[in-house]
Structures are given as structure tokens and as C-alpha cells.
């Protein structure tokens, strides 16, 4: 709002004003996504988990208050992380795993957008060498390896463990087996090795 007054006195801040606005906007978005405000968990919409019973040592055990099979009925928490995870004994393990998988998904999308910017540059510069020897091989590798990794993450999130033929697989082991052409002991689904 005070951009004109900063134009000559603080030129670095003046030129970075939109970047700072976007950084603040996405920090607020990430806070809502992870139900986090300055490292403290928040409870905006209530939880989709209810206390099942309280143990003799005072520990609370929860059960889901929504349809966990996605067949019908109420769904899970509408946006972000359910506040039932705040202070849970396995909160750190769950949150680190979730944040890592989310970062991988967003990173692959961002890299794919970067590849299409490379395509637009090659078309604009009429550079067929960049198009055929850089963009196309990079896109094939990105989609076949990292795009499939994103598919595996999302498939594992939306598929109940009892519907997987060999139980929930380790995605890292599956990717290593795929890259090194070794047998995958725990395939994600029937036919995933052939795919």
C-alpha cells in the first residue's frame, strides 16, 4: 500500500513487494493446510474423530466419526489436517510422512510446469534441438518416473489397506525396484510391475 513512498528510500523492498505478498499468502495457505498457527495446532472445523475409550493410564483412544471406506456417509475433515492429530503420540511420524509426500507431489507439479516453460521457450526461439533433445526426453522421464511416483502416493492414500493384494507397500522400495529392474516383493496393485 505504501509502495510509492518506498520506491526511492527502500528500492530492494519496493521491487520485492509482490514476492513478499505471495510468500505471506502461501504461508497462510500452508498454515490452513496443516492446521498450524506459529507451530501451534488449531481446531477450526472440529474433529472427525471421537473418543472411543480412556485407558487406565489416562490415554485416550479414538475412533472415526466418518465413513472410512468412502462408500457413503459423512466424509473426513473438510480441509487440511484433522485436529485429532494435535498432541497424538504418533503426530510427528504422521506429519513428517504427510509433509514429505505433499512436498513430493507439489515438487513434481512445479517441475512439470517448468518443463512446459522450457517448451514455450523452445517454440518461441524456434529451437528444434532444445525441443527434441531436451524437452521431450525430460518430459518422458519426469512423467514415467516421478509422475508414476505421485500416482503411487495418491493411490495409496485413497485405497484402503485391506484392498491391496500384498498389504500397503513401501513406495521407496517399489521405486528402487522399478529403477533397478529388480523384482518388487510388494506391488501396489496387480499389474503394477508390468506397468
Residue 108, pLDDT score: 93
HEC assignment per residue over the chain: CCHHHHCCCCHHHHHCHHHHHHHHHHHHHHHHHCCEECCEECCCCCCCEEEEEECCCCCEEEEECCCCCCCCCCCCCCCCCCHHHCCCCCHHHHHHHHHHHHHHHHHHHHHHHHHHHHHHHHHHHCCHHHHHHHHHHHHHHHHHHHHHHHHHHHHHHHCCHHHCCCCCCCHHHHHHHHHHCCCCCCCCCCCCCCC
Domain co-membership, 77 together with 59: yes
Domain that holds residue 16: 3-33
Q: Is residue 15 part of a domain?
A: yes
Mean pLDDT of 118-131: 93
Domain count, the chain: 2
Mean pLDDT of 119-145: 92
Give 140-194 pLDDT, tens digit per residue.
Answer: 999 988 898 899 888 888 887 777 777 777 888 888 888 888 888 888 877 777 7
Work out the pLDDT band at 110, boundaries 50, 70, 90: very high
pTM equals 0.69
Q: Is residue 47 part of a domain?
A: yes
Q: Is residue 123 part of a domain?
A: no
Give 57-76 pLDDT, tens digit per residue.
Answer: 877 788 888 877 777 777 77
Residue 114, pLDDT score: 94
Q: Is residue 78 part of a domain?
A: yes
Of the residues 56, 72, 88, the one at which a domain ends: 88
Domain co-membership, 27 together with 49: no
Work out the pLDDT band at 77, boundaries 50, 70, 90: confident
Residue 133, pLDDT score: 93
Q: Is residue 171 part of a domain?
A: no
Q: Is residue 75 part of a domain?
A: yes
Q: Is residue 11 part of a domain?
A: yes
Amino acid at each position: 500500500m505504501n509502495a510509492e513512498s518506498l520506491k526511492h528510500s527502500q528500492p530492494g523492498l519496493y521491487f520485492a513487494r509482490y514476492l513478499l505478498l505471495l510468500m505471506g499468502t502461501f504461508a497462510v495457505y500452508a498454515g490452513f493446510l496443516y492446521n498450524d498457527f506459529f507451530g501451534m495446532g488449531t481446531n477450526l472445523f472440529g474433529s472427525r474423530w471421537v473418543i472411543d475409550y480412556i485407558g487406565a493410564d489416562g490415554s485416550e483412544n479414538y475412533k472415526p466419526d466418518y465413513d472410512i471406506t468412502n462408500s457413503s456417509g459423512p466424509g473426513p475433515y473438510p480441509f487440511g489436517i484433522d485436529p485429532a492429530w494435535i498432541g497424538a503420540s504418533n503426530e510427528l511420524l504422521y506429519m513428517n510422512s504427510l509433509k514429505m509426500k505433499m512436498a513430493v507431489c507439489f515438487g513434481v507439479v512445479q517441475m512439470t510446469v517448468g518443463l512446459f516453460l522450457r517448451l514455450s521457450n523452445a517454440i518461441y526461439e524456434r529451437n528444434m534441438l532444445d525441443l527434441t533433445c531436451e524437452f521431450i526426453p525430460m518430459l518422458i522421464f519426469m512423467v514415467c518416473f516421478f509422475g508414476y511416483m505421485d500416482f503411487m502416493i495418491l493411490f495409496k492414500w485413497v485405497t484402503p489397506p485391506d484392498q491391496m493384494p500384498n498389504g500397503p507397500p513401501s513406495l521407496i522400495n517399489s521405486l528402487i525396484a522399478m529403477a533397478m529392474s529388480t523384482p518388487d516383493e510388494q506391488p501396489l496393485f496387480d499389474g503394477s510391475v508390468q506397468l
